[in-house]
Amino acid sequence: MNYIKIESERFGVLLNEGFVDAVQFKLFLKMVHGCLVNKEDLSFFNGVDFMVHVPYRYLVDCIVLTSQDKFESETTIAEHFKSKIEALVTK
């Protein structure tokens, strides 16, 4: 399962969502990236039970993290980046 977490210094955790389907996860990440690049609000509604709207002015200041394992409350942002850097170095 793939997870995305969007954290704001001002508001805390804005989004912490898991995706079973890798294709849906990739599309959602592309949507988040597109909003950041094009300076647009992040708005999504699946038509049933999941809706998110984050104005660009807040989204641009957020930290976006992804993981294949569920984020644990003890995991810090520094530990997340350290593990990503270690993965790149060992390749």
What is the rounded average pLDDT for all residues in the chain?
Answer: 85
Does the pTM of the predicted model rise above 0.85? Answer: no
Interatomic CA distance for residues 91 and 89, integer angstroms: 6
List, for residues 6-42, the tens digit of each pLDDT value: 999 999 999 999 998 899 999 999 999 999 999 999 9
Identify the domain containing residue 74 by its residue range. Answer: 2-90
pLDDT score of 58 more than 60: yes
The pLDDT of residue 68 is 86
The pLDDT of residue 86 is 59
Cβ-based neighbours of 73, under 8 Å, separated by 6 or more: none
Report how many domains make up the chain: 1
